[in-house]
A and B are shown apart, each in its own frame.
Chain A
């Protein structure tokens, strides 16, 4: 929870805190109040491993809301498995982790890479882009999403051709060559999978280039959904933030999500978040499973988790045999927002899925709605 991914990590913690407050106000779990012990996973996998060691051997933690980073998740898995710690992942999305033996004690609640890919596919469909470019930070999850995207395009009947794909180190801040290449190859849309502040750096450079700023761009998992980041882009490039799209692998459930965001607005000052709802759901689901198992023995709780059928601010969660959430309409999909400026204020307007859309997506090049 330090470094350039800190704001996103903070949201995970805050979502969890809201759930804990809720549970404790209703008597806790098995008669005991729930308590959060948190540890900063730090800037490297080495610090993440150390954080896990502290939590497990010093604080005797048995239930863990997993690390934010897919790299850190992979790195701490052997240790957590050794100590039979039940881990619920709400962020790091890589499917390839969810295999035996490790997934015996690991569950994923949100942000499955199939959702991430679905967002890209939906965006390409919405924008009628005949060609697209795929950019990602160079981590496991983006490569997986890439593969899933190519698989899912024909499955959903979307006719869009990949022009080229490129991956950039997560710590990169200079995207001028990528943007120059986009300008030169002129795709119909651009998909960007960068989950930290690097996405904000990217979009600033993207919208300041006159040759690229009108090509629709989808940023998935980005902290740009928070008002402060959108404002910083607006300050750097006035008018540039208009018509940037955000993909959030967090669902919108009418009524339920609204109530949750009213709470986050009151407590933390934001009413959109990709990470808080899933963290909230993770804690609720975990508490439910512990209650159902009647014990804190992690093996028993893991079994009880499989009976989960829960709907919360992040969507409807049912686990597959691999311990991942079922992805699709009625279960987990995700949401696409368009960033717009109206009367000087910045709004994240929902444009997809159609049944939750409250705003019609507008084509940045023409200023008119898509079809």
Chain B
């Protein structure tokens, strides 16, 4: 299982990424945007992995809480012009509530069905927001200076990463992992499976909401495409690539995939970008099915 050495290496990864974030800010230009996409998507991926690897619940529609956070923030800070940081917190709570409660309705389903149910639900939000807010969604003038936006992103990233690392190394983490491995056995040793699963749903939705809110904070636009299927699958791709169950791995996976999809469009066409992205993930999975974490482990970084 986990031990303090594992936690230490994971914290090292977080520290390294923070350093990268600071360096990027110093350089300025487009790379700050690449980092901001990374902040949003890594938090999103961590939230999905938390739900799956630590409570055994599969969501194929995790764009739902991400998107709810996104639209909630756009409405509160953008349309209603409320205090941006308060809106940020509130939007994430709204996402937690919506994602958590809707996710809980699927608690008793087998993972495959649970996954499909949440996928279908995310599509309901997709069509609804398209109808209600149109193609352009909600766009609004900047609510926070660029420096503060970046700082918020960094802070969100750090808080979410620490949260996940703490959970996975704590008793809560142990219990969740036990649930994932074997429901019946977990119940036999006295773990209230339902309660922990519900907790995981709300926590995961909250974190996804953080990701979504930040995404809209720096893009200044919330639109229906945030609920797309490809957006739901992105955190899964990151987690699978980085190594499911390993926060450090997920973060590295997130950096790689975010960098690919944000940097490549600047130098080549969208079609080539996605071809390279798909080929990269496919090849890594082919040769490192357990993810990049194996590579990291071999290099001595235990994540």
- Which residues from chain A sit less than 8 Å from chain B, CB to CB? 2, 39-40, 42, 44-47, 49-51, 53-54, 57-58, 69-79, 81-82, 101, 138-140, 169-170
> B29, A45: Cβ atoms under 8 Å?
no
State how many angstroms separate the Cβ of A31 from the closest Cβ of chain B: 27
Complexed CA–CA distance, A81 and B220 (Å): 11
> A75, B270: Cβ atoms under 8 Å?
no
Most chain A beta-carbon neighbours within 10 Å: one of B139, B220, B228: B139
Residue B106 is within 8 A (CB to CB) of chain A in the complex: no
With contact pairs A2-B270, A82-B141 given, residues A170 and B30 touching in the complex (Cβ less than 8 Å): no
> A138, B265: Cβ atoms under 8 Å?
no
Q: Which of B217-244 contact A (CB under 8 A)?
A: 219-221, 223, 225-226, 228
With contact pairs A78-B141, A140-B134 given, residues A40 and B269 touching in the complex (Cβ less than 8 Å): yes
> B134, A58: Cβ atoms under 8 Å?
no
Contacts of B270 in A (CB 8 A): 2, 40, 42, 47
Q: Count residues of chain B with CB under 8 A from any CB of chain A.
A: 27
Complexed CA–CA distance, A353 and B53 (Å): 66
Complexed CA–CA distance, A338 and B33 (Å): 48
Which 4 interchain pairs have the tightest Cβ spacing? Answer: A71-B135, A74-B136, A44-B225, A58-B30
Complexed CA–CA distance, A45 and B70 (Å): 14
Q: Which residue on A lies nearest to B219, using beta carbons?
A: A49
Complexed CA–CA distance, A319 and B250 (Å): 53
> A78, B134: Cβ atoms under 8 Å?
no
Residue B123 is within 8 A (CB to CB) of chain A in the complex: no
Contacts of A74 in B (CB 8 A): 136-137, 139, 221
Contacts of B219 in A (CB 8 A): 46, 49, 75, 79
Selected A-B contacts with CB under 8 Å, 21 pairs: A2-B269, A42-B270, A44-B223, A44-B228, A45-B137, A46-B223, A46-B225, A47-B270, A54-B265, A57-B29, A71-B134, A71-B136, A71-B137, A75-B221, A76-B221, A77-B139, A79-B219, A79-B220, A81-B141, A101-B141, A169-B130
> B135, A45: Cβ atoms under 8 Å?
yes
> A49, B228: Cβ atoms under 8 Å?
no
Residue B128 is within 8 A (CB to CB) of chain A in the complex: no
Contacts of B225 in A (CB 8 A): 44-46
Most chain A beta-carbon neighbours within 10 Å: one of B130, B131, B221, B223: B221
Residue B283 is within 8 A (CB to CB) of chain A in the complex: no
- Tell which of B135, B141, B142, B223 touches A170, judged by Cβ atoms closer than 8 Å: B135
Query: What 1/0 mask marks residues of chain B from 127 to 170 whose CB sits below 8 Å from any chain A CB?
Result: 00011001111011110000000000000000000000000000
Complexed CA–CA distance, A138 and B134 (Å): 7
> A53, B221: Cβ atoms under 8 Å?
no
With contact pairs A2-B271, A82-B142, A139-B135 given, residues A51 and B265 touching in the complex (Cβ less than 8 Å): yes
State how many angstroms separate the Cβ of B78 from the closest Cβ of chain A: 9
Contacts of B280 in A (CB 8 A): none
Residue B266 is within 8 A (CB to CB) of chain A in the complex: yes
Q: Which residue on B lies nearest to A47, using beta carbons?
A: B270
Q: Which residue on B lies nearest to A170, using beta carbons?
A: B135
Main secondary structure, interface of A, reads helix
Contacts of B140 in A (CB 8 A): 78
Q: Which of B267-293 contact A (CB under 8 A)?
A: 269-271
Q: Which residue on B lies nearest to A75, using beta carbons?
A: B221
- Tell which of B33, B136, B226 touches A72, judged by Cβ atoms closer than 8 Å: B136
Contacts of A42 in B (CB 8 A): 265, 270
Contacts of A140 in B (CB 8 A): 134-136
Complexed CA–CA distance, A44 and B228 (Å): 10
Residue B262 is within 8 A (CB to CB) of chain A in the complex: yes
State how many angstroms separate the Cβ of A277 from the closest Cβ of chain B: 25
- Tell which of B29, B32, B134, B266 touches A139, judged by Cβ atoms closer than 8 Å: B134
State how many angstroms separate the Cβ of B274 from the closest Cβ of chain A: 10
Contacts of A46 in B (CB 8 A): 219, 223, 225-226
Complexed CA–CA distance, A57 and B31 (Å): 9
Contacts of A81 in B (CB 8 A): 141
> A39, B265: Cβ atoms under 8 Å?
yes
Contacts of A101 in B (CB 8 A): 141
Most chain B beta-carbon neighbours within 10 Å: one of A50, A51, A77, A81: A50
Complexed CA–CA distance, A47 and B262 (Å): 9
Contacts of B226 in A (CB 8 A): 46
Contacts of A77 in B (CB 8 A): 139
With contact pairs A82-B141, A82-B142 given, residues A45 and B136 touching in the complex (Cβ less than 8 Å): yes
Complexed CA–CA distance, A77 and B78 (Å): 13
Q: Which residue on B lies nearest to A81, using beta carbons?
A: B141
Contacts of B269 in A (CB 8 A): 2, 40
> A40, B136: Cβ atoms under 8 Å?
no
> B137, A40: Cβ atoms under 8 Å?
no
Contacts of B228 in A (CB 8 A): 44
With contact pairs A49-B221, A57-B33 given, residues A75 and B266 touching in the complex (Cβ less than 8 Å): no
Q: Which residue on A lies nearest to B141, using beta carbons?
A: A78
> A75, B141: Cβ atoms under 8 Å?
no
> A73, B136: Cβ atoms under 8 Å?
yes
Contacts of A69 in B (CB 8 A): 135
Contacts of B223 in A (CB 8 A): 44-46, 71, 75
Complexed CA–CA distance, A315 and B209 (Å): 49
Contacts of A170 in B (CB 8 A): 135
> A75, B134: Cβ atoms under 8 Å?
no
Contacts of A76 in B (CB 8 A): 221
Q: Which residue on B lies nearest to A52, using beta carbons?
A: B219
- Tell which of A45, A49, A54, A72 touches B266, judged by Cβ atoms closer than 8 Å: A54
Contacts of A79 in B (CB 8 A): 219-220
